[in-house]
């Protein structure tokens, strides 16, 4: 969680002074997760950290609105990568497939993201 949330808060705090004096469209876009509203078993810390990031996005959007700086979050879903079922994770290809099918059912388009 230290890396997940701290880096976003730190980079945002560094960017705001520059955005406040710049002209034109001023936006901060932060990647987050679509799974924060529907956490999955075994992903408690992930869901907590993403919820924290989403709350940060909402609070920063309110605080920076007076400066005409937009703050938005883009929530992505699970991404099927070779790392998910590698030896480093301990997840088998079968377990990965079951996970992706479960996550896909939670999403409007009924699919997990794929790396091309």
What's the pLDDT tens digit per position in 7-23? 899 999 999 999 999 98
Tell me, yes or no, whether 68 and 25 share the same domain: yes
Tell me, yes or no, whether 86 and 70 share the same domain: no
pTM over 0.85: no
The domain in which residue 103 lies consists of 77-116
Tell me, yes or no, whether 25 and 49 share the same domain: yes
Q: pLDDT band at residue 81, thresholds of 50, 70 and 90? A: confident
Tell me, yes or no, whether 44 and 70 share the same domain: yes
Angle between helices 2-21 and 44-64 (to 10 degrees): 10
In terms of C-beta density within 10 A (0-12 exposed, 13-18 middle, 19 or more buried), how is residue 35 classed? Answer: buried
Tell me, yes or no, whether 12 and 57 share the same domain: yes
Tell me, yes or no, whether 8 and 63 share the same domain: yes
Decide if pLDDT at 40 tops 90. Answer: no
């Amino acid at each position: 969680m230290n890396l997940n949330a701290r880096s976003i808060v730190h980079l945002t705090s560094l960017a705001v002074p520059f955005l406040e004096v710049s002209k034109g469209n001023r936006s901060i876009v932060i990647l987050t997760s679509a799974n924060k509203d529907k956490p999955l078993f075994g992903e408690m810390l992930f869901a907590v950290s993403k919820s924290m990031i989403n709350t940060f996005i909402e609070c920063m959007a309110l605080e920076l609105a007076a400066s005409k700086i937009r703050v938005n979050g883009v929530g992505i879903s699970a991404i099927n990568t070779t790392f998910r079922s590698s030896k480093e994770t301990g997840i088998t290809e079968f377990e990965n497939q079951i996970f992706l099918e479960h996550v896909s059912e939670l999403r409007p388009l009924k699919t997990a993201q794929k790396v091309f």
